[in-house]
Amino acid sequence: MEQILGRRSIRRFREQPVETEQLDQLLRAAMAAPSASNRKPWEFVVVTDGDLLARLRRTLIFGRYTAPAAIVVCGNMRRTYPPPARDFYVEDCSAAIQNILLAAHGMGLGAVWIGVHPVPPFVKGVTKELGLPRHVRPVGLVYVGYPAETKPPRTQYDEARVHWERWRQDRTDGSEER
């Protein structure tokens, strides 16, 4: 639990490059994630080139953080289930991203997840910048680097969002019909 609660989104990074060995460890952690029927539809693009990182920042308006590395997690549609289960690649890639985030924290690195899917301009921009083939879809990007900020561990546990056995109407979840 300490590892999970201690992981925080880091948005400020030192200029120090991340070693190739550490990036490789993060990729190993990513590929240890569970996937639907072990389809493993993920592909990873590691970016350390400063110019390409700058272009990705311009593409991702919610992800303009200056990190020395990024791992773009993509779904290979040739490895997914056929419809209607095809979109399980999103969950599979998201599990891989979570593993990267947890592993980065455990290694003393900082990381932040930037969503790409399902926003069409983000998907199109990342696809173009990375030269992805048609059958490979970007799901998310993780900036990685040595943290230039620290944040205390926290929990976001909210008992009001827990329902045992059936939905409890007496809980306020913010989704009441308007």
**Total count of domains within the chain:** 1
Q: Is residue 137 part of a domain?
A: yes
SS3 call for 144 = strand
As a whole number, mean pLDDT of residues 85-108 equals: 97
Q: Is residue 162 part of a domain?
A: no
97 membership: H or E segment, kind and range: helix 88-106
The answer to whether the beta carbons of residues 42 and 127 sit under 8 Å apart is: no
Q: Is residue 170 part of a domain?
A: no
Residue bearing the bigger pLDDT, 18 or 175: 18
CATH number, domain at 74?
3.40.109.10
- Residue 173 clears pLDDT 70, i.e. is over it: no
pTM to 2 decimal places: 0.93
Q: Is residue 167 part of a domain?
A: no
Range of the structural domain that residue 52 is part of? 2-153
